[in-house]
Amino acid sequence: MPERIAVFGTGYLGATHAAGMAELGHEVIGVDIDSAKIDLLRRGEVPFYEPGLGDVLRRHVDSGRLRFTTDAREAAEFADVFFIGVGTPQKEGEYAADMRYVDDVIETVGPLLTRPAVILGKSTVPVGTAARLAERLREIAPVGADAQLGWNPEFLREGFAVEDTLRPDRLVIGVDPENPGRIEEVARSVYAAMLERNTPFIVTDLATSELVKVSANAFLATKISFINAIAEVCEASGADVTALADAIGYDERIGRKFLGAGLGFGGGCLPKDIRAFMARAGELGVDQALTFLREVDNVNMRRRKHVVELATRVVGGSLSGIHVAVLGAAFKPQSDDVRDSPALDVAGSLHLRGADVRVYDPEAMRNAAAVWPTLTFAQSIEEACAGADLVLVATEWAQFRSIDPAALAATVGQPRIIDGRNCLVAQDWIDAGWEYYGMGRHSG
Ligand code: UDX
């Protein structure tokens, strides 16, 4: 049966979730305090780059099954099921997550709930948040204990957000075992189409559901930093981390995914989630349990420094006046997100060391220019590389992987390339006369 759903927050998570719920057949209203964003969404336009989302969004905005508003009251009158999909960014100057947007949703919606409602939190939050919010909701909702809160963490990846929303590899629902209410029943109804496909459905307590999400991200971050730590050893010993990752990846217990050595992880999730996790462990008196995540963070940040030092070395010791073409600004391909982007961070560091940096990214230039207005942005690979002393591939977009090394050699000043994502076929570049430097490989 279609449910009437309100989704609070229309960023990567909320907008995709709202469109995904409409695609599943529900009646949906998306809510945000940012009226500019809501205006775009109302016209069926996605305020960020996310492949496939525009089609789903437009289809359901046109059919009337998906609406957007800045008015929480309108949403509260309409919906029986509420999702929280607002951000939990890192607090300024601290490791902990800033919970103000999540808290604001509860403080706004709670007093408007005059009939039974189920609220499912999707945002990534410190363990203990859901229990606190459930209690607060009971206090402030006119309907009292019939305003029930559960947690339903989201695992979507940018670039695959629609696919991950519509075909998740698991669904996790956290409920208070003392007071389960209708949460599981409502979640089963919302996700009925997925349950029919036998998607694993894990019902657990609130704390476990919150921890599932941060543990998954901490594990992924650890896997990436593991291979980047090994890359450091490879660099020092003349070994090749790519061949090594292939070889260990055949062991099913290890697996090849997320063993891509390079510039390391960035984005709006992994970096801030491991930091918030450490902060929360400290509050719980178990900071030692997560001390290793500090090292995971350190290894990750060292990659950026390593690439800047490598660049300095290969151009002869000083970056001053050196023209460096940086290909990529987004934190990963298929995204225009530059939050904590290793690519943009390195471009900025090269610029601060006196290099003449020209950045090109297929989608992220507007966002990159907002963060680093003093960098030079080129309109194409060729424009960025014309006359360059060094080319750095910092994000593995398909169009960079398919560059013809011979053609680009004719454009640059010096055929030197740093493959910051180990995404190029090294031999092709060497054969075309390039000095090639990979990450954790002989030449790097
Ligand atoms: C991540 C999680 O994957 C997702 O489940 C969660 O919901 C949100 O956080 P996302 O931030 O979209 O998703 O990016 P992801 O694909 O996980 O990549 C994160 C970063 O790791 C990127 O900067 C990527 O370039 C880097 N990475 C990934 C590597 O450096 N090496 C790899 O092998 C894989």
The reply to whether ligand 1 has any atom less than 6 angstroms from the CB of 213 is: no
Same domain? 118 vs 229: no
Position 209 in a domain: no
Q: Which of 199, 215, 244 is the last residue of a domain?
A: 199
Instruction: Give catalytic status of residue 234 as yes or no.
Output: no
Q: How far is the CA of 4 from the centre of ligand 1 (A)?
A: 32
The reply to whether ligand 1 has any atom less than 6 angstroms from the CB of 269 is: yes
Position 361 in a domain: yes
Position 213 in a domain: no
Which of 16, 122, 270 most suits a substitution to test ligand 1, by most atoms within 8 Å of the C-beta? 270
Position 218 in a domain: no
Distance of alpha carbon 30 from alpha carbon 42, whole angstroms? 10
Same domain? 32 vs 91: yes
Strands (E), 372-415: 376-377, 390-393
Position 207 in a domain: no
Position 382 in a domain: yes
Same domain? 227 vs 193: no
The reply to whether ligand 1 has any atom less than 6 angstroms from the CB of 85 is: no
How do the residues of the chain divide into helix, strand and coil, expressed in percent and rounded to 5? 45, 15, 40
Q: Which of 199, 232, 264 is the last residue of a domain?
A: 199
Same domain? 108 vs 231: no
The reply to whether ligand 1 has any atom less than 6 angstroms from the CB of 157 is: yes
Same domain? 172 vs 289: no
Residue 444 confidence (pLDDT): 43
Same domain? 318 vs 419: yes
Q: Please give the tally of structural domains in the chain.
A: 2
pTM: 0.97
Query: Which string of DSSP letters, residue by residue, matches 261-295?
Result: -SS---SSSHHHHHHHHHHHHHHTT-GGGGHHHHH
Distance of alpha carbon 439 from alpha carbon 213, whole angstroms? 30
Which of 12, 228, 269 most suits a substitution to test ligand 1, by most atoms within 8 Å of the C-beta? 269
Looking from the CA of residue 158, the nearest atom of ligand 1 is 12
Looking from the CA of residue 333, the nearest atom of ligand 1 is 25
The reply to whether ligand 1 has any atom less than 6 angstroms from the CB of 203 is: no
Return the CATH number at 136.
3.40.50.720
Same domain? 240 vs 370: yes
The reply to whether ligand 1 has any atom less than 6 angstroms from the CB of 158 is: yes
User: What residue has token string 């292939």?
Assistant: 246
| Catalytic residue from among 234, 269, 385, 423 | 269
Q: What does DSSP say about strands 323-327 and 356-360: parallel, antiparallel, or unpaired?
A: parallel
Q: How far is the CA of 270 from the centre of ligand 1 (A)?
A: 7
Same domain? 165 vs 256: no
Is residue 153 within 8 Å of residue 212, measured between CB atoms? yes
Q: Which of 199, 214, 247 is the last residue of a domain?
A: 199
Position 314 in a domain: yes
The reply to whether ligand 1 has any atom less than 6 angstroms from the CB of 78 is: no
Position 345 in a domain: yes
Looking from the CA of residue 259, the nearest atom of ligand 1 is 33
Same domain? 348 vs 431: yes
The 10 Å CB-count burial string (b at 16+, else e) for 126-156 is bbebbbbbbeebbebbebeebbbbbbbbbbb
Average pLDDT for runs of 10 along the chain of length 444: 96 97 98 98 96 98 98 98 97 96 98 98 98 98 97 97 97 96 98 98 98 98 98 97 98 98 97 97 98 98 98 98 98 97 98 98 98 97 98 98 98 98 97 98 65
Helix 291-314 / helix 342-352 crossing angle, nearest 10 deg: 50
- In which domain, by residue range, is 65 found? 4-199
Same domain? 252 vs 190: no
Same domain? 235 vs 176: no
Residue 443 confidence (pLDDT): 60
Same domain? 298 vs 186: no
Residue 1 confidence (pLDDT): 86
Is residue 430 within 8 Å of residue 437, measured between CB atoms? no
Q: Tell the residue nearest (CA) to atom 5 of ligand 1.
A: 155
Is residue 378 within 8 Å of residue 370, measured between CB atoms? no
